[in-house]
Structures are given as C-alpha cells and as structure tokens.
Amino acid sequence: MMQVVVDLFSAAQGWLFETVVQPLVFQLDLGEYVEEAFTGTEWFLVGVCELAILFVILRPLEAMIPVHAITDKRARWNDFIYTALHRLGAFSILVFFLLDPLLASLTELLHLEGWGSFNLDDLWPGVTDQPLVSFLIYLVVLDFCDYWYHRAQHGWRWLWALHSLHHSQENMNLWSDDRNHVLDDLLRDVLMGVVAIGIGVQPGEYVLLVSASRMLQSLQHANVRIHFGRLGEYLLVSPRFHRMHHAIGIGHESHGKNSLGGHNFAVLFPIWDVLFRTTHFGQGFAMTGVRDQLPPPAGKGRNYGRGFWAQQWLGLKRIVEFTRRSTR
Ligand SMILES: [Zn+2]
Ligand SMILES: [Zn+2]
C-alpha cells in the first residue's frame, strides 16, 4: 500500500516537473536551478496532499465538534491564504531559490571544515539507523529546537512583535498554523534547516519531517473539541493543549517568578513543557487572542490588521514600537 502511494507520488512529481516546471525554468533562463526546481516540485506536491487531507478530515470535524461558532469567516479565509502561500506557493519558491543554495554552500563549508559528516543515526548501528527510529529521533531533536525558538518568540520583544500576529487570531481554525509574519517564518526555516543539516538529515527525509510536523500543527489549531486523554496529553500536543497556549491570561503572558511567562510552548511533544515546567493541563477550551487587542478597559484595542499586507506591515511597525519601549 505504502509503495503504491510512493510510486503514485513520484509519477505525479515527474509529470508535473516535465510538463510545467522544467519548461518554465528554462523559459525564465534559470537552467542552473533545475535541481532545486525538481525538489521544489516535491515540496509543492507534498503541500497539495497536506491541504487535501486536512480539508477532508478537519473541516467535517470543525462542523461537528466546534469550540466556538465562526464569527469571522474572512479571518478564516485570510488564514487559508497564509497556508496556501506557505505550503504551496511563493514561500516554497522563496525558500528553494534563496534558502536551499544558502544551506548548500553552508553544508559545503562545514564539510571542508571537517564538520557535517556527523550523522545522528550512526549513534547505535542496527538500531538508530532503522528508518522509523531515525525518523523519530530527528523529529524529537528538531522539536526540541522548535520549543526553544517558540520560547524566544515570547521572550524577546522584537520576536514577540512578529509572533503576536499568530496569537491575534480569535477565530482559530485548521488554517491558523501558518498565520505568521513571513520574516518570522523565514528565520525559523533557516534555523531548522541548519540544525537538520548539522545532525545529518537527508533532503528526502527532511520533506517528510516537515510535513508530519505541519500536519500535526494544523490539527492543534483546528476549531475542534479534541484532547488526547490523561496520558495522551503528555505524549502529543493536542488541540486543547495548544489552545491553552493561545488563551489570554494563561498561555502567553507573564506569570510571577517565571520571567518568560506563559505555558504550553511545545510544538509537537509536551515533554519539553514538562521538563522546563511550563505546562498547563487545563480542562476547558479557552477563548483565544492577545490581551492588547481587546477593547478598553481590558485591552488597548490594538489593531493587528485584517488582510495579509496590513498584518505584515503592522508586524514590522510593532518591532520598532516594542524595541523602542524596551530601551526607554
Ligand atoms: Zn506562541
Ligand atoms: Zn499556535
């Protein structure tokens, strides 16, 4: 069964590349990037599959067991644009023509310095080099980095200026995972790419690791009353666990002695929150948003923008505002 899926996927990738992508690449006089374009085609198709699976599974669930009624359909549509852009369109192209060559030269440099030949799956021959075991090890290591990047997104003012866009969604839905500032996304992708190269992840594996992580993150943001039970909540981040992170007053605000503040930063595995004492296993399904966007007196009525361009522009303006405030 798995082999059939793999064969079908390769056939589709080959067809799309030969009939559309390759002619276009040569037409645009970008022949030197033909290899990147082939990998780009793979990322694009993986994105198409993700969107189809998410829509077929999560949309009916959102209709059956929603946390809240959708009060703002435009906000949901806007999140879909982010997802399409990030997983199918401009962003992958950007990553592949900018990031891929950058990472390739970095790998070359590391190899020259005698680095980069390190492979985490060589640790215990016969065990850690089993495909499923090495996949899980890579997933855990990358998720550990994701946890700390997420902590930084809340702890550093200039990064929070960007990440608050993600939190400003009061109508969380299956597309909200990608509602991010493009600068924030680019930074995270560079960081993850460098770590992946550093621990010896192969490009083919990386696509699958990213895809698995993205699918689970879409589920976490869906407007569904789902949790994974007493034990399950410790093993994998559920929609309820992540919603708590988005909750005003609990998830992402300062609390007493924990200077960074906030709870449930884990991206896939709650174990990081357990280890670093940032869990909040609340039972309810909280309402979401950022306090300063609430109308006064509770908040300041801050506007995070309605459409894509307004949201991106306001994010840049917040960097100036927040960093100026911190140096005062
Ligand atoms: Zn966050
Ligand atoms: Zn989130």
How high is the mean pLDDT of the chain?
A: 86
Token representation of residue 251: 């998830």
* pLDDT at position 109: 78
Global confidence as pTM: 0.88
* pLDDT at position 258: 41
Helix (H) or strand (E) holding 6: helix 2-16
Measured in Å, residue 242 CA sits from the centre of ligand 1 at 9
Q: CB-based burial of residue 205 (10 Å sphere; 0-12 exposed, 13-18 middle, 19+ buried)? A: middle
* pLDDT at position 143: 96
* pLDDT at position 90: 60
Give strand pairing partners of 247: 288
Measured in Å, residue 320 CA sits from the centre of ligand 1 at 20
* pLDDT at position 220: 96
Residue ranges of the chain whose pLDDT lies below 50: 256-259
* pLDDT at position 128: 73
Measured in Å, residue 251 CA sits from the centre of ligand 1 at 8
**CB-CB contact of 62 with 178 (8 Å):** no
Measured in Å, residue 250 CA sits from the centre of ligand 1 at 12
Q: What is the 3-state secondary structure (H, E, C) of 221-252?
A: HCCCCCCCHHHHHHHCCCHHHHHHHHECCCCC
Q: CB-based burial of residue 132 (10 Å sphere; 0-12 exposed, 13-18 middle, 19+ buried)? A: exposed
Measured in Å, residue 265 CA sits from the centre of ligand 2 at 9
Measured in Å, residue 124 CA sits from the centre of ligand 2 at 35
